[in-house]
Structure 1
Amino acid sequence: MRHYELYIFEEDVARQYYGQESKLFYLFLEHEKARGPQKEILRKQIEYITKPIPSLFLQQKLKQDLLKLEGYKKKKNTHVIDISDRDSKAELVIGSDALYLTADGSFDVETMFFEILRKCEPTFFAFTIEEHRYGWLKPMKQEDLLRTTQV
Structure 2
Amino acid sequence: MMRHYELYIFEEDVARQYYGQESKLFYLFLEHDKVSGSQKEILRKQIEYITKPIPSLLLQQKLNQNLGKVDEYRKKKNTHVIEMVELDSKAELVIEADALYLTAAGSFEVETMFFEILRKCESAFFAFSIEEHRYGWLKPLKQEDFLRTNQL
Query: Same fold by TM-score, threshold 0.5 exceeded?
Result: yes
State the 1:8 CA deviation.
Answer: 0.1
Residue 17 of structure 2 corresponds to 16
Residue 151 of structure 2 corresponds to 150
Taking the aligned partners of 1:146 and 1:28, their CA distance within structure 2 comes to: 27
Q: How does 1:52-71 map to 2 (within 5 A)?
A: 52-71=53-72
Taking the aligned partners of 1:147 and 1:114, their CA distance within structure 2 comes to: 27
Runs of 4+ in structure 1 displaced over 2 angstroms? none
Identity over aligned residues, as a percent?
A: 81
Normalised by the length of structure 1, the TM-score is: 0.99
User: 2:109 aligned with 1:122, yes or no?
Assistant: no
Q: How does 1:1-150 map to 2 (within 5 A)?
A: 1-150=2-151
Q: Which runs of 5+ in 1 are unaligned?
A: none
> How many equivalent pairs are there?
151
State the 1:108 CA deviation.
Answer: 0.3
Residue 142 of structure 1 aligns with an amino acid whose one-letter code is Q
RMSD of aligned alpha carbons: 0.5
